[in-house]
Structure 1
Amino acid sequence: MGTSSSSTMVKVVGANGQISLGKQYAGRQVLVEEREPGVWLVRTATVVPDNERWLLYPQAADDLRRALDWAEANPPDDADVEQILTRLGDGEG
């Protein structure tokens, strides 16, 4: 985590209803919380899509790490392709 500091800036809301927070925040997502009319709390955030949230669970991270380790230790090999295709075609496996 970064250090916490407090500062006050005067910004002008443009005719289109926008304010600029500075180039260092360009492209970042922010949460804007309206505490009361005219009072906002703006915080930078990282938003995780619902369909990717499962990746944040420790078990999922462990499973993914093990799968990547296995894939690295077992590179693709097409030496037995014909035998595998025959087995699959016979309904085995």
Structure 2
Amino acid sequence: MELTRKKKTLHANEAESERVKKLRSQDWTTIREVCLKDLVFIDETGVNLAMNRRYARAKKGKRAYSKCPDNRGNNVTMIGAIAPTGILAPFRNCL
């Protein structure tokens, strides 16, 4: 039958209910009234400066070596806002 084992892609079965379909339709009606120039998208990300890869490549039978900071390092948080007119507010914070 030429079937192979695959990981399933799941979705909520409630998404197909009449109540959710009606709510989705109402949301689209509201979104259509919003002007594109009024939209602002905000995103946040963070990183720790002491992060290091835990795996590496080495010849078979040999150990992979690397260096990394001994202390925990600083956390860096970055937040940005973008609109159709361009970038509005890049922000970086070291904690």
The answer to whether the superposition gives a TM-score over 0.5 is: no
TM-score range, shorter chain: under 0.3
Largest Rg, 1 or 2 = 1
TM-score (norm 1): 0.28
Structure richer in strand, relative to its length: 2
Query: Higher helix proportion, which one?
Result: 1
TM-score (norm 2): 0.27
